[in-house]
Structure 1
Amino acid sequence: MVAPSPPPPLHWRALPADRGHTFGTIEPAPEQYTDAEEAVRRLQVLLAQTAAT
């Protein structure tokens, strides 16, 4: 028996899938890209503040 693969950390993918497996991911809505970019910006600020202390 083959063990099931773990779910992807993100449910959406950044690039379109031309061929092959997508592992259950979907293309995100534009708002989701905006939310992800904002989260990365906040994380960058937090990490910079943590490194400075």
Structure 2
Amino acid sequence: MAALLTSMAENGVRIDDRIEENEHGLFAWVYDPQGNKIELWEPSHHNKTLINLPEAE
């Protein structure tokens, strides 16, 4: 996420000052040229994802 945000900032993308980290992962927000807010999410590597869940019985 840090590398992506750095690259975006270097290319003039407006980045929200707030970055959050919680049990679900890392969240950051950027803005498109029209001012729409876009959420970026990097999943936590410590939590199981749906891919890793056991099959339902």
TM-score norm. by structure 1 comes to 0.31
Larger helix proportion, structure 1 or 2?
1
If each structure's strand is expressed as a fraction of its own residues, which one has the higher value?
2
